[in-house]
Amino acid sequence: MSFFYQQQPPQTIDARVHARLVDRSYQRLLGAILSTLAVVTVMFFFLQHSSPWSLLAPWAALFVLLLAYRTLTLVLYRRFRKRDRERLNYSLADKVYFSGLVATGCLWGAMVIWLLPALDVKGQILFFVIVMGMASGAIPTMACRPVAAITFIILLVVPLLVMVYEMAIPNVMAVLVALVVYALFALRTVLMLYTSIKKMLILHEKGIDHERELARQKDLAEQASQAKTEFLSRMSHELRTPLNAVVGLNELLQMDEDEPLSEKQRLRAEKIRSAAGHLLNLVNDVLDISRVENGDLVFKLEAVECAPLVQEVLTLLESKMHDRRLTARFEEPGQAVWLRADPIRLRQVILNLLENAVKFNRQGGSVTIVLREAGESRWRLSVIDTGYGLTDDDLKKLFVPFARLSTQNPAISDSGVSLSYTRQLVEKMGGELGIESRPGQGSCFWFELPAASPEQRKAESPVKEAVMPAQSNNQPSQGNRMDQNKTVLLVEDNLVNQEVVVDMLEQLGVAITITNNGKEAVEACRQQRFDLVLMDCEMPVLDGLKATRKIREEEKRQQQPPMPVVALTAHAISGAREQCFASGMNDFLSKPFSFNDIRSVVEKWTGLDTMAATQTPSQSEPQEKAAARGEKSTASVIDKKVIDRLRSAGKAGKEAASGKKTSLLVRAGELYLQQTPELLGRLSVAVEAGNVSDVIDIVHSLKSSSSAIGAMTLAEDCRELELSAREEGLEMSEIKHLVTEIHHKYQQVEGELKRILDGES
């Protein structure tokens, strides 16, 4: 059976066109067989009066056998074609088709030679017409195979020429010339028709190739987009996790009443807060651009009144404008302006443009917001600043993400991410965003959006409800706020994040239970009911999503009311919030979060009155006190900045009340020295067992804890091993080599960290 198929389908355009030509010939073969059978039947019926039946019968029998053979070839072709059309041996099918056609032509030619002389004049004329008709009929039915068609016509016409010449009929030369002219015309028609069909098929196959190439390019683009999304998701987690520690610890520094900051330290801490906020905004902007490009952002277009949004954003930016001594003026049109837009995205657009005008303005400058009609059913909002202006080259790169402007002014430095994202938001809402600027004369950013119809205005939602949506999918139960005996389960595998959240929770006066992974959290919830569960999402052993599902299943089985579970996650990629809610969580808190964020969550879900327990920032001892300890730099093994930050975090709420002096550095360092040897032991066992999955989980935990304690070189080695093992499929010999390096690095970290902790005590 394999004889009828090729190893692979035809690849080149010529090979595919040849296959289509053969296929078209077979598609027309049934009509040719039926028409030949009809012609032969009519011919023998009328010729029986011109010639004895004994002479006609053998020819009739031969025709029946030949047509049966050609019918059999057609049936077999269709059967094999149905099984595997692409791999069918079309060259073999072409040869079979050609053999049947040649046999038919030879039979007609033989009949001309042997039967024509035996007929009377009427029979000769009829036979002559039938043969010429068969030659003409070959033109459309056999044009896809020109060699076969030409052969068939020659096999019919040449015997006619010979017999006409030998029979010496009247005007023989005229008849011969007419036959030759007819034959040449028929051959030319065959070639023209074949050329036309072939060109059409070539264009068709080229179109198919183009479609396949477009589909391939689309798949590559989708794969690249998916890879980008996964990369952003991973980078979001990697950036937000340490950023959470920076923001949280910095806030605890500012709130520490036992060791208040000096004025100089307070200003530095405020700069840390500002820089961390800028970094978080940049991360959010990059993620938002990805969401827009992937079509993951959902836009709910409705009627939104523009002026209240502008006033709200101006209120938010009052402090920044005061710091830069800027004045703001809002020129309203004297009537309520309703736009057809998504209220959340519109607020974001206005905020981005006004922040840009404040950030890149001159000290003591001004910002003017103008709302004017821009045409029929459209409104334009312009934000005009008195900044340094932009050149034509800068304008070309302004909306390109991560493109740096060519201006030499140090006050202008932006990644272009926010403006690129803002333009995409406006375009998604059916609008347009543009800029007018000249160097030294400031800039005017504007956007236009369609006006809302009267019907949409009737169905509008209050702006404040639209721009301040609830972040939870369930409402907390309003418990007795006088009951302060609240229990909180913290599920977090990162040591520093544990300490940060614990410090915050202790200041709120709640009882805290800590687990390091989802499996421990499920077991803790079986043994005790908690007023609130703070659940990290990405953890070894069992992640937060699966742990929450197990907790919900256990509650349902025990017929218990659900405990509030709040996600603490560094994943901000589209879909993370939905995944958390789908797993059974009640709320979502994205890292990095502040003390006020934690306090709001605790109040919301436990009914606890935390106002009496909160502390306010005040002055502290000079920074020189910490520097006077006299230790040498540990930057080669442990980052001294991380050590200083941990040392400055001060005492936790309950320890401060009891007079203990254990700092966050000591607590985190001792936990690290206690936990890491166990992790390294498990890592060695996993390597010996060849369990790559366990290796990845263990080095992930080791990476987080090492980074938190300041062992950046060790953390980087763990990160490289995790990524390589996860994405590149390292050989076990390579993994063993990297693990050996990790053991060696930890010995250095252990010695240096013990020396630092000895100095603390």
Q: What angle separates helix 13-27 from helix 90-115, to the nearest 10 degrees? A: 40
Reduce the DSSP state of residue 751 to 3 states and report it. helix
Residue 627: Cβ within 10 Å count: 10
Q: DSSP label at 513?
A: E
- Is 714 in contact with 742 (CB distance < 8 Å)? yes
Whether the CA torsion 425, 428, 431, 432 is positive or negative: it is positive
Asked if residue 40 has pLDDT above 60, the reply is yes
**Is 449:426 a contact under the CB 8 Å cutoff?**
yes
Say what percent of the chain tops pLDDT 90.
19
**What residues have CB less than 8 Å from 188, skipping those under 6 apart?**
none
Residue 4, pLDDT > 60, answer yes
Mean pLDDT on 570-583: 72
Q: Quick one: what percent of the chain has pLDDT higher than 70?
A: 81
pLDDT of residue 458 exceeding 70, the answer is no
pLDDT number for residue 141: 85
d(CA 500, CA 534): 13
**Range of lowest pLDDT (244-253, 285-294, 708-717):** 285-294
At 599, list the tokens: 């306090």
Contact by Cβ (8 Å): 718, 706: yes
Residues near 302 by beta carbon (within 8 Å), at least 6 away in sequence: 340, 341, 342, 343, 452, 456, 459, 460, 461, 466
Give me the half-sphere count of Cα atoms (radius 13 Å) on the Cβ side of residue 409: 16
Alpha carbons 747 and 750: distance in angstroms, whole number: 5
More confident residue, 476 or 758: 758
Compare 431 and 689 and report the one with higher pLDDT: 431
Per-residue confidence (pLDDT) for residue 494, from 0 to 100: 79
Instruction: Render pLDDT for 62-87 as a digit per residue (tens, 0 to 9).
Output: 888 999 999 999 998 888 888 877 77
Q: Which two tokens stand for residue 232?
A: 């952003």
pTM above threshold 0.75: no
pLDDT number for residue 651: 44
- Please state, in angstroms and as integers, the Cα–Cα distance from residue 703 to each residue in 242, 502, 520, 672, 723, following that order: 12, 21, 20, 11, 11
Among all chains, which residue has been given the structure tokens 């073999």? 92
* Residue 753 identity: L
Mean pLDDT of the chain: 79
Q: Is the pLDDT of residue 91 over 50?
A: yes
Measured CA to CA, the distance from residue 437 to residue 356 in angstroms comes to 14
In which element (H, E) is residue 26 found? helix 13-27
pLDDT recorded at residue 339: 93
Asked if residue 512 lies in contact with residue 502, where contact means CB atoms within 8 angstroms, the answer is: yes
744 token code pair: 């060696």
- Please tell me the distance from the alpha carbon of residue 326 to that of residue 313, in angstroms, as a whole number: 15
* pLDDT grade for 350, boundaries at 50, 70 and 90: very high
Q: In this structure, what is the dihedral angle of CA atoms 199, 204, 209, 211, given to the nearest 10 degrees? A: 150
Q: What is the mean pLDDT of residues 668-691?
A: 85
Q: Is the model's pLDDT at 720 over the cut of 50? A: yes
Omega before 592 cis (within 30°)?
A: yes
Beta bridge partners of 378: 375, 450
Report strand pairing: 565-569 vs 587-590. parallel
Give the model confidence (pLDDT) of 629-657 as tens digits.
333 333 457 877 778 767 765 444 444 44
* CA angle, residues 250, 718, 699, in degrees to nearest 5: 95
Beta bridge partners of 641: none
Compute how many other C-beta atoms are within 10 angstroms of the C-beta atom of residue 142.
25
Q: What does the alpha-carbon distance between residue 549 and residue 553 come to, in Å, rounded to a whole number? A: 6
Report the distance separating Cα 714 and Cα 720, nearest Å. Answer: 10
Confidence of residue 236 (pLDDT cuts 50, 70, 90): low
* CA distance linking residue 636 with residue 619, whole number of Å: 33
Residue 54 backbone zone (phi > 0: left; psi -120 to 50: alpha; other: beta): alpha
Average pLDDT score over residue span 331-342: 90
Which of the residue ranges 53-67, 396-410, 440-454, 502-516 would you say has the lowest mean pLDDT? 396-410
Residues 244, 246, 248: CA angle, nearest 5 degrees: 65
Rounded Cα distance between 86 and 90, Å, is: 9
User: 651 is written with which tokens?
Assistant: 């005492």
Q: Of residues 366 and 50, which shows the higher confidence score?
A: 366
Strands 302-305 vs 338-341: parallel, antiparallel or unpaired: antiparallel
E strands of 132-209, at which residues?
Answer: none
Rounded (10°) angle between helices 495-507 and 172-255: 50
Residues in contact with 505: Cβ distance below 8 Å, sequence separation at least 6, in sequence order:
488, 490, 512, 598, 602
pLDDT on residue 530: 94
- β-pairing, 366-375 vs 327-331, is parallel
CA angle at 77 for the pair 72 and 78, rounded to the nearest 5°: 100
Residue 309 near residue 373, CB atoms below 8 Å: no
Distance separating alpha carbons of residues 676 and 718, to the nearest angstrom: 13
SS (H, E, C) 627-689: HCCCCCCCCCCCCHHHHHHHHHCCCCHHHHHHCCCCCHHHHHHHHHHHHHHHHHHHHHHHHHH
Q: Give backbone dihedrals phi and psi of 536, rounded to 5 degrees, phi first.
A: -70, 150
The closest alpha carbon to 84, from 9, 176, 137, belongs to: 9
- Which range (105-119, 162-176, 614-628) has the least confidence? 614-628
Please provide residue 364's backbone torsions phi and psi, each rounded to the nearest 5 degrees: 80, 10
Q: Give dist(CA 744, CA 714) in Å, integer.
A: 9
| Crossing angle of the two packed helices 712-727 and 732-760, in degrees rounded to 10 | 160
Q: What is the pLDDT of residue 388?
A: 85
Q: Which two tokens stand for residue 117?
A: 């002389």
Q: Does the structure show a pLDDT above 60 at 307?
A: yes
Number of residues that this document lists for the chain: 761
Confidence band (pLDDT; 50, 70, 90) for 462?
Answer: very low
Q: What is the reported pLDDT for 352?
A: 86
Which range is least confidently modeled, 42-51, 343-352, 572-581, 663-672? 572-581
Inform me whether the pLDDT recorded for 32 exceeds 80: yes
* pLDDT for the residue numbered 610: 56
- The DSSP letter of residue 599 is H
pLDDT for residue 459 = 58
Q: What is the side-by-side order of every strand in the sheet holding 565-569?
A: 511-515, 487-491, 532-536, 565-569, 587-590
Distance between CA atoms of residues 530 and 510, nearest Å = 11
For residue 415, the SS3 value is coil
In one-letter notation, the amino acid at residue 94 is: D
